[in-house]
Amino acid sequence: MRRSNLPAELNRFVGRDAERAELDGLLAEFRLVTVVGVGGVGKSRLAVNVARASQKRYCDGVRLADLARLRDPGLVEHALVEALGLTDQTSRPPREVLVDHLADRTLLLVLDGFEHLVDACADLVRRLLCGAPGLTVLAAGRRPLRLDGEAVLPLPPLSDEDAVRLFTDRAVAARPGFRAEEEGEPVRELCRRLDGIPLALELAAGRLPALTVEQVLSRLDDRFRLLTHGTRGAPARHRTLRTAIGWSHELCTPQERLLWARLSVFAGPFDLDAAEYVCGGPQLPADRVLDVLGGLIAQSVVLREADAAGSRYRMLDTVAAYGAEWLAALGDAERVRRRHRDWYMGLATWCELEWFSPRQAEVAACADGALPNLRAALELCLETPDEAHLAQHMAGTLWFYWVGCGRLAEGRHWLDRALAPGSGPGHEEARLKALWVLGYVAILQGDATAAVRALHECGERAARGRNALALAYTTHRLGCLALLSDEVPRAEELLDGALASYRELGELNSQVLMAQVELAMAKVFRGDLESAVALCEDVREVCEERGERWTRAYALYVLAYAAWTRGDHGEARDLLAECVGIDHAFHDLVGLVLAIELLALVTASEGDPAEAAVLQGAAGSLWEAVGPPLFGSAYFGAPRALCERRAREVLGGERFGAYVAEGGRLSVDAAVARALAGRAGGASAAPADRPRDGSAPAPGTRKPAGSPTGKGGEAAG
């Protein structure tokens, strides 16, 4: 994991020398510091700038959580989990995950834009500071958190000198060749009129390609009286900022104003296709959106940026809030919000279909980039009880993201809400899908009770409605639950039945292939290694044809186990290296921890018990974020038990424990790098390290040293 997720500065930070020094001093003395001020005064920019400069103080890094576009207080904890780069797939509350992760770390957490969620944030920050003595929180918002021990830094507007410097810097970028000294008094007058508010100054500078400073001043003066009558009792500077944004709004063409208002429904970055669909309509045809968007970009109303999913656009929160007020005044907010929801419903559907394709990595990046907007769409679905079925459909459709990209906790949040009693009438097909997806998520979180409840309801409803596909998915997931519960014969029966139903229905996707891999695992546990290999080779072949990588990783895991039992440690290591790489790329901790545990056994069999112990320690740490270690399964725990016994015999208990502790301190990224580094040579495996028939030990069986099956002797190699 990177030490910081702070955004790169796209332009120079100007001025604020005294405030930077004061904030830096407060961070050295207090564990909670809050920068407060009006919108647009530069709170966020100052906090990020000082956080970046003070990174060396925090050995575990600096992380930023931007909460400005979040609306649901219940998502604050999920947002912090995301900001910290955690992938927790358990059913533990996110707050518990955060406290456990931060407990022994020295880290600076920057919270930005929290004021509309102040109660939820204050409660969470209090708990985190109490449970993590090495944590420092730097918050930036319009009001303090009001917690004991909080140091508050009110941020005033820029001084006259800094305001002129900032305006000049941005003016030169907007109009190369601009010289403030030639403009003289008009520049100083403009900065005074805008009260030294950075956002207002930047908006004004953005007009210089079309206007002179004198023209900017005259137009601003014309609009001042018109737009200063804001909310009664609002601070003067707040009204001035509103004036500056309103003045910029007035200078836009009618179509630019209309697009500005409609773009305000986006909760995060958006692409051109989304803008054309959501914002096209009366008075603004979709084919005109690109040209009009270019005008807003030129005026700094919309920012263009690049991410893993390509070119994206976004609006500053204050600018978007102004647009939202205009959209409401136009009486068009409900229509545009529904178009926004429909677009992201369609995007979720497209992603689900494309997940089973060579574009799987692109789909993961797309869903990551769209997450704030997907949340907004889900929230709108849940606002109207009569549309609960839309929330159920969307939350179910995103199964690939919740499960395949390490978002189990957030998926559980939305699925539980969509299926909650009183959520309104639903369409049966949407409810069935949400139920089996909830069962799937709960299984992987180790919450068998919730899984059984959801799958039982799904099975009963599917049987009554004769929905064969939903019944197949229910049977499949019950088979998965039986497998993880060491009920192997039942798992094999259920998975066989699910696969037969899939074939009859013509269903083929990542889920179907996963059922085949899970059946292969059941056969491994029963000692039928030949059948397991055949199943997984078939999965690998289909994955290669379709470009599917996520399920492929699980098939590689089973094939690596087979290679180890044959004594082919080189092939096992190669297969597991590919498996680890795929799982890590998709943030799939379940697959990753299983692969690292098996790789530890391969490493021990190659004659390097110390490195095997390190890998076991790393895997043990990962299990904390996955759920019950090895799902509480003796079958899944067999490689770990054998590896530990052999490494402990060679190293002794004390040295073994030290190496395990070393691995436990590794971050996820470091553990993956360690696993992929491999070994430079190594002794051959002792023959007794391999079972003859490929079977795993029976649950609860004590095995003589040197034989995982309790049979002793050499395996055929």
Domain map (residue ranges) of the chain: 17-154, 160-251, 567-689
Whole-angstrom Cα distance, residue 484 to residue 3? 35
The answer to whether residues 659 and 651 touch, using CB atoms and an 8 Å cutoff, is: yes
Give residues with Cβ within 8 angstroms of 56, minimum separation 6: none
CA 459 remoteness from chain centre: 31
Pick among 3.40.50.2300, 3.20.20.210, 3.40.50.300, 1.20.1250.20: CATH of 17-154: 3.40.50.300
Residue pair 137/125 in contact (Cβ under 8 Å)? The answer is yes
In contact, 544 and 514? CB cutoff 8 Å = no
Structure tokens at 432: 């069935």
Instruction: Express the helix, strand and coil content of the chain in percent, nearest 5 each.
Output: 65, 5, 30
In Å, what is the CA distance from 687 to each residue of 684, 691, 715?
A: 9, 9, 6
Read off the amino acid at residue 81: V
Helix (H) or strand (E) holding 151: strand 150-154
> Looking at this protein, which amino acid is placed at residue 333?
A
Q: Name the E strands within 14-77.
A: 32-36, 62-66
Low-confidence stretches of the chain (pLDDT < 70) are 1-2, 220-241, 307-310, 422-426, 627, 629-630, 679-717
Distance CA 179, CA 193 (A): 20
DSSP 55: G
Per DSSP, the residues of 336-354 read HHHHHHHHHHHHHHHHHHH
pLDDT at 549: 96
* 584-to-335, 553, 667 alpha-carbon distances in Å: 40, 10, 12
Q: How far apart are alpha carbons 613 and 536 in whole angstroms?
A: 29
Helices 408-418 and 428-444 meet at what angle, rounded to 10?
A: 140
Q: What is the DSSP secondary-structure string of 364-417?
A: HHHHHHHHHHHHHHHHHHHHSGGGHHHHHHHHHHTHHHHHHTT-HHHHHHHHHH
Kindly give, in sequence order, each residue whose CB lies less than 8 Å from that of residue 553, ignoring residues fewer than 6 positions away.
Answer: 578, 579, 582, 583, 588, 591, 595
- Predicted pLDDT at 2: 63
d(CA 230, CA 394) in angstroms, rounded, equals: 39
706, 404, 411: which is closest to 551 by C-alpha?
A: 404
Give the start-end residues of each E strand in 555-595.
none
Q: Please, which residues bridge with residue 303 across strands?
A: 314
| Alpha-carbon span 9 to 42, nearest angstrom | 13
Listed residue (409, 405, 452) closest to 591, CA to CA:
405
Q: Residue 145: helix, strand or coil by DSSP? A: coil
Pair 589, 408: CB distance under 8 Å: no
Helix axes 609-626 and 589-605, enclosed angle (nearest 10): 160
What letters, b where the CB count within 10 A reaches 16 and e where it falls short, cover 208-246?
A: beeeebeebbebbeebbeebeebeeeeeebbbbbbbbbb
Question: Which tokens hold the place of 94?
Answer: 């996110």
Torsion of CA 136, 140, 144, 148, to 10 degrees: 0
Tokens of 631: 């799902």
The label of the residue with tokens 């055949």 reads 534
- Per-residue exposure over 320-342, b if at least 16 CB sit within 10 Å of its own CB, e if not: bebbbebbeeeebbeebbebbbe
Q: What residues contact residue 199 under an 8 Å CB cut-off, 6+ apart?
A: 39, 40, 41, 42, 241, 244, 245, 316, 318
Nearest to 460 by CA among 471, 452, 469: 471
At residue 617, what is the residue type? G
Cα separation of 157 and 37, whole Å? 9
Nearest Cα residue to 486 out of 710, 645, 696, 709: 696
Tell me if 589 sits within 8 A of 642, measured CB to CB: no
What is the DSSP secondary structure assignment for residue 270, as one 8-state letter?
B
Residues constituting the chain: 717
Q: Give the separation between CA 590 and CA 90, rounded to whole angstroms.
A: 10
Terminal-to-terminal C-alpha distance of the chain: 40
Q: Considering the entire predicted model, what is its pTM?
A: 0.79
Which helix (H) or strand (E) segment holds residue 165: the answer is helix 160-174
- pLDDT, residue 132, reads 95
Give residues with Cβ within 8 angstroms of 513, minimum separation 6: 539, 542, 543, 548, 551, 555
Distance (Å) of CA 405 to CA 17, 51, 70, 398? 42, 29, 21, 10
